[in-house]
Amino acid sequence: MAQPAQGVQWGGYDPWTVVPPPAERERKTVSRRGAWIAVLLIALVAGCLGGGIGAYAERDRASGGVDVKLPQAPVEKEARSPGSVAGIAARSLPGVVTIHVRGSAEEGTGTGFVLDKRGHILTNNHVVQSAGTDGDISVTFNSGQDAKAEVIGRDTGYDLAVIKVDRVSGLTPLPLGNSDSVRVGDPVVAIGAPFDLAGTVTSGIISAKERPITAGGEKEDGSDVSYVDALQTDAPINPGNSGGPLVDRKARVIGINSAIRAADDGSGLGGGQGGSIGLGFAIPINQGKRVAEELINTGKATHPVIGVTLDMGYTGDGARVNTKGAGGGAPVTAGGPGDKAGIEPGDVITEVDGVRVHSGQELIVKIRSHRPGDRLGLTVRRDGKERAAELTLGSASSG
C-alpha cells in the first residue's frame, strides 16, 4: 500500500508552533486590518495638525505675533446738512414714486412726484400715454408700498399728466419752488428711476434756461407735439427719469425732468435708450404748476395762442405767418390776438419780449411758456422793415 508522500502531508510543518483554530486566525486578520486603518487615521490627523500649526506659525511670524485688526471709523448717526445732496435726497425721496405702465401694445417705466395729500401725482404725458383707456398704471413709493393709479388728465402740448392714487396714507407732497428764481449755475438734484432703478439720485447744476425743446410729433397733424421752454441741466438723467423732480438746494421742485439729448440720435426719454451725456431738459415748475392745477380741476389744460397759422417750412430767420390758412381758412384769425395787433399774412415775427426767435417752433415755445391773458411785445418784419406790436394772448383748450 502506498504511503502518502511526506512532502505533501508534512511539508512546512513546525512542531514548535501552535497553530490557532480557524476562528482565531480570522480575528487576528481583522485586528491587523483595523490596526492599519488606525495608523492611517493617526497619520492623517497628524498631517492636518501639522499643517495647521505650520500655517498658524507662518501667520504669527507675518503679524509679529498678534492678531491684525484694521482701523475703521464708527457709524455716524448725525443727520447730513439739509443743503447737501444727501440732505436734499433724504427730504425728497419720500415724495417720489416709480410709475409702471402696461398697455395693450407696450409697457414702460417712469417717475412722478406727490403734489398733495389727496393723492395727486405729477408726471410726463409720455410716461402714461401707453396705458390708453384700458391699461394698467401702478406706482411704487420709496417705502416700497404699491398702489394702483388712474389718469386725472393729461396734455400732449405740455407733455404733462396728473394721476391719482386712493386710500394711501402718509403721503409726502414735495414743496414747489419758483422756476423764475432759477439762475444758471444753481446746484440741482434729479431723482427718478433710470432703467427702473428706483430712487436714483444724481446732482449737477442748471446749465442754461429757456431752451426751446420739442418732442413727439408721431401724428401727421402735429397735435401730439410738445413745446417746452426748458431748463437745461447736466445732472445725469436717463430713460425712466421722465416725470421725476428736479429740485433745488432747499429740496423744492423747480422742474419736471422730461428729455435728454442722447449720444446716439438725440431722442427724448420717451424714445430710444441712449444714455446721458450731460444734456438734460426739465419743464419749468411754474408751467407745470399751472397745467397740473387745470388738469386736476377740469381734466384739461389751456394753451395760450396768438391766433395765426405759422409756416413751419419757412427756412429764413424768424417765424413767418402763413399766406394761406389750413383747410382753406384764414391764416390770421379774424378778431383774434394777432389780428388785433395788426399782424398780417406773410409777416415774420423775429422777437418776443426782446428775445430773438429763429423759427416757428421757437415762437410756439415762447408763447407756450406764458399764460392765456398775458401781454407780449413782438417785433414783426414786413417788406424788410421791422415794427413793434403788442398783443394779449388768447386761450385754446387741449381737448
* Statement: residue 81 has pLDDT above 80: yes
Structure confidence at residue 226 (pLDDT): 87
The residue from 92, 100, 155, 159 that is catalytic is 159
Instruction: Identify the three-state secondary structure at position 107.
Output: strand
What is the pTM assigned to this prediction? 0.78
The model's pLDDT over 344-366, given as tens digits with 9 standing for 90+, comes to: 999 999 999 999 999 999 999 99
Residue 203 annotated among the catalytic residues of the structure: no
> What one-character DSSP code corresponds to residue 272?
-
Residue 303 annotated among the catalytic residues of the structure: no
* Statement: residue 13 has pLDDT above 70: no
Q: How far apart are CA 142 and CA 150, in angstroms?
A: 19
CA 363 to chain centre: 30
CB 148 within 8 A of CB 254: no
Structure confidence at residue 132 (pLDDT): 83
The residue from 92, 126, 203, 229 that is catalytic is 126
Contact residues for 130 (Cβ-Cβ < 8 A; gap 6+):
101, 102, 103, 105, 106, 107, 108
* Statement: residue 270 has pLDDT above 50: no
Q: How far apart are CA 101 and CA 52, in angstroms?
A: 60
Q: How far apart are CA 375 and CA 56, in angstroms?
A: 86
Q: Which residue has the higher pLDDT, 23 or 188?
A: 188
The model's pLDDT over 46-55, given as tens digits with 9 standing for 90+, comes to: 565 556 555 5
Name the burial class of residue 33, with classes exposed (0-12), middle (13-18) and buried (19+) by CB atoms within 10 angstroms of its CB. exposed
Q: What is the mean pLDDT of residues 163-169?
A: 95
Residue 242 annotated among the catalytic residues of the structure: yes
> What one-character DSSP code corresponds to residue 130?
G
The model's pLDDT over 273-317, given as tens digits with 9 standing for 90+, comes to: 567 888 999 999 999 999 999 999 999 999 999 999 999 999 999
The residue from 203, 207, 242, 369 that is catalytic is 242
Sign of the torsion formed by the C-alpha atoms of 278, 102, 145 and 120: positive
Backbone angles phi, psi at 63, to 5 degrees: -95, 5
